[in-house]
Structure 1
Amino acid sequence: MRRKIISTICISLFGLLSLAQEQEDAIFNQDRTNQGLNERWELTPETRNKTFTISPYKPVYVLPFRYVNKPNEQPASLSPINVSEEHKDYKKLEIKFQISFKTKISQGLFFGKGDLWLAFTQTANWQAYNDGLSRPFRELNYEPELIFNYPLDLAIGDFKFKMVGFGFNHQSNGRSLPESRSWNRFTMHLGMEYKKWTFFAKPWLRFRETKGDDNPQITDYIGKGEFNVIYSNWGHVFTLNHRTNFRFNHRNRGYTEFTWSYPIKNHLKAFLAVSNGYGDSMIDYNWNQTNIGVGITLIEWL
């Protein structure tokens, strides 16, 4: 039964990879100077596709070997009913993978330029090497989003403001008490480019919980916004993602991740991911850890 479940998961994962890859082909088969946010978000009439077409969103990767320096073996939220009473002997080595895609559900809004997107991202932390616990999925996170995006045509020299928008974001781990974690956000975003550099700024506001709170003070740990810096050249992609609570004192917390992908063949790339901070997953929202993973990626930010 376990093998059938694992096989089903793998088939589903690579099926989604194939769908997204069909869209990604158009991006990598052209010169990089003509690529970027225009194609990924269909910002111009030349790059606009039909609605309800699957396209890439966040990176899609598999890290078969990921070292976690301090696994969260007994998760504890600041909410008393969300404190786990059971200690689990997690291994420091696990597998992590992420799938992510989006589809445009409406276009030509507001002066014929704005688009409405539906996106979905799932991440999995899998204790595949932990035979003592029957190789469980330590954490699964689900993140559906509704995003409105509007193209911009502003520039200061070579620095270009490409797009702006807002969205509604839900993130949860789909678990019951005491390990249930979820929250809802109103997000804003701004996308910019400078030659081979791409910049994202994405602040958010959390919606107030009306029936209890799985993760009190989550924005004090995970942060109130994130910034992405992406550099692409000769097939290499370097990214720096930083989340912060915007407190510039001893109470400053957040999360920082650096990734590097190196081309192997066609779209297959070697992938390195190094991160430190709070909120690597929902169950770890108030848990600080360092992670180092190596694997492969088929889709990057750009």
Structure 2
Amino acid sequence: MRHIWPFSLVFLAATTHAQAPEATKEFTSEPTLTAEAMNTCLQASVVSAAETMTIRQLKEACQMLHDQQKSEEQQAKIKDAPPEVAQARETPLLKKRMTMEALNRSNRFMLTPHKRNYFFPVSYTRHPNTVPYRNNNSESLSTLSKTEAEFQLSIKILIHEDLFGDNGHLYLGYTNHSLWQVYNDTDSAPFRETDHQPEFILSFTNDWEILGFQNRLNEFSLTHQSNGLGGQLSRSWNRIMFNTVFERGNFAFALNPWYRIPEKEQRFPGDPHGDDNPDIEHYMGNFELNTAYQHKENIFNAMWRNNLESDNKGAVELGWSFPLSSNLRGQFKYFKGYGHSLIDYNTDMEIFALGIVFTDLF
């Protein structure tokens, strides 16, 4: 679990809590999945399960889903209970996301959410970046609307499970981040930028404890990111990335450093065989730190991206998501710095966005 990935903040894990005190046993007992319910779940999953999926793994996934449903029911019962009772029955921060991942691995046809999936009908900046389009003698997009729509689609699919014993899952991921000038009637509401990020991800679950934090997930990925354009508007880079996720109570963070794979210099501006953006690390940095905190049904997150150089390029993002319905969440986002998109990688921007999140961090 990226976007913080993004993570590439990716948050995929569960935490364990101390046993509840005697006074709260009526709220904390964990019902066991009945044989009939287990058989029903297994019959529904086994038809499309991957060949490498064992019965034990399917049973564990069914039990996890059952526990999550019971946990939510009990949370509703103790909403007005004393604080110590409510604290004893807090749902583990990342349990829902981990349950979903485990069940999806049993279905070889399932596309799993990767980073956040969202749609912001309002994404506002006071100073749109028109320089790349003017330099390219583009009549369209030479005048940008300060308000546009922004959306992201991020999914992954399991390629191979348990490469190393009972751990090591290989995924193919894809993230699409688009900026749509939907309110720009002058230029017929074009998409001014669409960044594509395919990646191979090797994921390892973990249970190490370091200074009170549980290291739940470690990932290695080979990542390509490009805006799919040619000529002087082309932007792209390739990276080898590492992502490690830690959790403690209702707080989680992910550290995501990377190494850029070098490219040869361009022989002329717009050379398709040369480096489109040789200084991108100077602005986008070489690591990203994502943090998230859940308070009741609210999720607060922060991202810091930097290169640790003296001129302090990079970016900061702050977010707050909140429930709108049983399956939709609203989100407010503030972004300041470089790299909001690839076309804007070397431009300092300040952006306020408000919209809907379809799949959250957890």
- Aligned partner of 2:217 in structure 1 is 163
Instruction: Work out whether 1:36 is the aligned partner of 2:94.
Output: yes
Instruction: Give, as a single letter, the amino acid of the residue that structure 2 aligns with 1:233.
Output: H
- Aligned partner of 2:320 in structure 1 is 260
Counterpart among 227, 232, 236 of residue 298 in structure 2: 236
**Normalised by the size of structure 2, how large is the TM-score?**
0.69
CA distance in 2, matches of 1:28, 1:223: 38
Structure 2 segments unaligned to the other structure (5+ residues): 1-64, 73-89, 265-272
Instruction: Give, as a single letter, the amino acid of the residue that structure 1 aligns with 2:123.
Output: R
CA distance in 2, matches of 1:196, 1:258: 17
Deviation, 1:150, is 1.0
Query: Secondary structure, in 3 states, of the residue corresponding to 1:111?
Result: coil
- Aligned partner of 2:337 in structure 1 is 277
CA contact (8 A) 1:229 1:239 kept: yes
Deviation, 1:156, is 3.8
CA distance in 2, matches of 1:214, 1:68: 25
- Aligned partner of 2:121 in structure 1 is 64
Instruction: Give, as a single letter, the amino acid of the residue that structure 2 aligns with 1:228.
Output: N
CA contact (8 A) 2:68 2:95 kept: no
Deviation, 1:185, is 0.5
Deviation, 1:198, is 1.3
Deviation, 1:190, is 0.5
CA contact (8 A) 2:252 2:292 kept: yes
Instruction: Give, as a single letter, the amino acid of the residue that structure 2 aligns with 1:275.
Output: F
CA distance in 2, matches of 1:296, 1:283: 24
**Normalised by the size of structure 1, how large is the TM-score?**
0.82
Deviation, 1:101, is 1.0
More strand by share: 1
1:1-302 equivalences under 5 Å are 29=69, 30-31=71-72, 33-36=91-94, 39-40=97-98, 49-75=106-132, 83-86=135-138, 88-156=142-210, 158-210=212-264, 211-247=273-309, 249=310, 251-302=311-362
- Aligned partner of 2:13 in structure 1 is none
The structure-2 alpha-carbon separation of the partners of 1:86 and 1:164, relative to structure 1 and needing over 3 Å to count, comes to same
Identical counterparts, % of pairs:
33
CA contact (8 A) 1:57 1:301 kept: no
- Aligned partner of 2:267 in structure 1 is none
CA distance in 2, matches of 1:28, 1:235: 15
- Aligned partner of 1:19 in structure 2 is none
CA contact (8 A) 2:101 2:112 kept: no
Structure 1 segments unaligned to the other structure (5+ residues): 1-25, 77-81
CA contact (8 A) 2:218 2:244 kept: yes
Q: Deviations over 1:84-118 (max 9, x none)?
A: 34460001011111111111111111232111011
CA distance in 2, matches of 1:48, 1:103: 9
CA distance in 2, matches of 1:40, 1:143: 23
Query: Secondary structure, in 3 states, of the residue corresponding to 2:277?
Result: coil
CA contact (8 A) 2:104 2:110 kept: no
Q: Deviations over 1:268-296 (max 9, x none)?
A: 11110110100100001101110001111
Deviation, 1:189, is 1.0
Deviation, 1:49, is 3.1
Query: Secondary structure, in 3 states, of the residue corresponding to 2:282?
Result: helix
Instruction: Give, as a single letter, the amino acid of the residue that structure 1 aligns with 2:282.
Output: D
Deviation, 1:152, is 1.5
Query: Secondary structure, in 3 states, of the residue corresponding to 2:131?
Result: coil
* Larger deviation, residues 152-161 vs 283-292: 152-161
The structure-2 alpha-carbon separation of the partners of 1:125 and 1:255, relative to structure 1 and needing over 3 Å to count, comes to same
The structure-2 alpha-carbon separation of the partners of 1:37 and 1:140, relative to structure 1 and needing over 3 Å to count, comes to farther
The structure-2 alpha-carbon separation of the partners of 1:37 and 1:146, relative to structure 1 and needing over 3 Å to count, comes to farther
CA contact (8 A) 2:68 2:96 kept: no
CA distance in 2, matches of 1:41, 1:102: 16
Q: Deviations over 1:190-217 (max 9, x none)?
A: 1110101111111001111133111111
- Aligned partner of 1:13 in structure 2 is none
CA contact (8 A) 2:104 2:112 kept: no
CA distance in 2, matches of 1:281, 1:218: 12
CA contact (8 A) 1:74 1:86 kept: no
CA contact (8 A) 1:62 1:98 kept: yes
